[in-house]
Amino acid sequence: MGYEIHVKADRRDFLKKSGSLVLGAAATLAFPNIIRARDSRPTIKVVGTHVTLQEKIRKQAEQDLGINIEFYPGGSAEVLLRASADPSSFDLYEQWSNSINVLWQANAIQPISTNKLTYWDEINDLTKKGRISPNAKIGLGDAPYKLLNVQPDGSLGSRHTGEISFLPYVHNTDSYGYNSAVIPKGVPYETESWGWLLDEQYRGKVALVNAPTIGLFDAALAAKAQGLMEFKNMGNMTRPEVDELFKILVDFKKRGHFRGVWSSVPHSVDLMKSGEVVIQSMFSPGVSALKGMGIPCIYAAPREGYRAWHGVMCLSSESTGERQEAAYEFMNWWLSGWPGAFIARQGYYISNPERSRAHMSKPEWNYWYAGKPASEPLRGTDGYISVQLGEIRTGGSYINRFENVAIWNTVMDSYEYTLLKWNEFVLS
């Protein structure tokens, strides 16, 4: 899942918190069913992760919109459970596209009318059609465009209907990171490969992210790159394929190939910092943190393509009336330019980038979106220098990166089964 944040303040242990459901469950039960008005202005509740539920964004939105906004950030699993189990606990849900099926299946969210989205026409083809450019790979799994449109039969599909399941906004690509002090530096898109994760020479020093909807695809991409197995559709594996993949993974694990799994970005940083791991699934904030510590961690551009993620903003099935209108205002605000520029400085992309361009300096745009060397040191959202002069973003430009998407984070039909197998893998 994407958490490419370049500021230390946003390096949160999302998966850790995704497991911290005590508060979540309590909060779920404690959520008021009636949204209180404050200062006669409408108030909306937003649940999501720390990636987008940032205080600066909330304050800016309140200021710009004149509404009250309450953020309830949490771990991805926590907020998904909360939202799917209790739609009345939120108005807007911010998470990843792989949670859409769960929410939609749970009737936790309602269709969003594109007519009410001011900048709908500016949203690029990545989300609308599945390709950022005509030559781009669509990517396996739940590519966002497949889940975007609400079909007449109530299902989700790619055909435009005027109603969508989520507002396309923040997205990014993920891959693996490796310590170039140990592993020779590869050539992006040429020699760097997901297969490195299952390279025997790194035995005992490999880790995966502890999330079946993410780490499983890293492992699947690695197994395929190593020629260990083929998938009919890696984005929606059959049970036999899941069995075969886990057989391979368990076999590797029993031979001591994996150090283990990491459950938070700090955990991933510790593993590579301590030398326990030299190559692993990584999120952008972890790579930045390691670089800041002087560890030459390279965020690979695998020749097989990235594992991409797409943020979704969903409207609660319980949100109606004034709150629903305020929620639409907040969604439109997100695509109005300032928020896109804000999160661009944290390494994330917005679905209508041109609208944000006006809010970014030319060097910022060139570095974050155009894939050019930084012509000056660039500051992150915390005000500190996050990009040094001359630095180039790995993987190139926004277009380059999203032209090379191998797969999207996906909740497969075999989700529950993968959970069981994941347990077996982790403890084998």
Partner 1 sequence: MFGSLKLKHKIFAGFISVGLVATAIAVFSYGTFNLVSTNFRIFVNSSNSAQLGLLLARDVSEIQRQALIYTYEAHGSAAEQVHELYRGMSDTLQKSSEHESEYIKKIRAHLKAYMSTFEQLQKQKQLQHRLVYNDIRTSASDAEKHLRSYIKLISNHEDHTSLLQDERILNTLLLVEKNAMRYFDSLDPQYIGEAKENLAEVRKRLQKIEANDTSKAAMDHIRPAMKEVVEYERVFLEAVARTRGYLFLVNVVMAAEAYEVLYNAKLMSAQISQEMGEIEQGTFSMLQQVIGTLVVAIGISLLLVVILSLLIGRSITNPIVSLTTAFRALSKGSHHAEIPVYEADDEIGHLTRAASVFKEKNRQTEQLLDHKKQLAKELEGNKKELERSNDELEQFVYTVSHDLKSPLVTSMGFIGIIQKLAAQGKLEEAVEKLDRVVKSNERMGQLINDLLDLSRVGRVDMDKIDIDLNELLASFHEVHSQQIEKAEFTMQIEPGLPVIYANESRILQLFENMLSNALKYAYNPAGSVLSIGSKEHDDAYLVWFRDNGPGIPEEYHEKIFGLFYRLDPETEGTGIGLAVAAKVMKFHNGKIWVESSPGEGATFWLSFSKNEEDSE
CB of 218 to partner 1, least distance (A): 15
What is d(CA 82, CA 406) in angstroms, rounded to the nearest whole number? Answer: 30
Window 393 to 422, contacts with partner 1 (CB under 8 A): 413-417, 419-420, 422
Using the rule CB under 8 A, is 260 a contact of partner 1? yes
Cβ proximity to partner 1, 211 vs 220, nearer residue: 211
Cβ proximity to partner 1, 10 vs 78, nearer residue: 78
- What single string gives the DSSP state of each residue in 38-102? BTTB-EEEEEE-TTT--HHHHHHHHHHH-SEEEEEE--HHHHHHHHHH-GGG-SEEEEEGGGHHH
Comparing CA positions, the residue from 224, 283, 222 lying closest to residue 257 is 222
* CB-CB contact of 93 with 313 (8 Å): yes
Using the rule CB under 8 A, is 151 a contact of partner 1? no
175 contact partners, CB below 8 Å, separation of at least 6: 194, 282, 299, 300, 301, 302, 306, 307, 395
CB of 328 to partner 1, least distance (A): 24
What is d(CA 332, CA 360) in angstroms, rounded to the nearest whole number? Answer: 19
CB of 164 to partner 1, least distance (A): 20
Using the rule CB under 8 A, is 68 a contact of partner 1? no
Window 74 to 93, contacts with partner 1 (CB under 8 A): 77, 80-81, 84-86
Choose the binding region for partner 1 from 177-185, 259-267, 281-289, 366-374 (rule: CB under 8 A): 259-267
Q: Applying CB under 8 A, which of residues 211, 248, 278, 326 lies at the interface with partner 1?
A: 211
Using the rule CB under 8 A, is 141 a contact of partner 1? no
270 contact partners, CB below 8 Å, separation of at least 6: none
Cβ proximity to partner 1, 193 vs 410, nearer residue: 410
# binding residues, partner 1 (CB under 8 A): 39
Window 8 to 27, contacts with partner 1 (CB under 8 A): 15-16, 18-22, 24-25
* CB-CB contact of 218 with 195 (8 Å): no
388 contact partners, CB below 8 Å, separation of at least 6: 374, 377
Tell me the torsion sign for CA atoms 85, 13, 335, 404.
negative
Footprint of partner 1 on this chain (CB under 8 A)? Answer: 15-16, 18-22, 24-25, 77, 80-81, 84-86, 102, 105-108, 154, 210-212, 259-261, 263, 413-417, 419-420, 422-423, 426-427
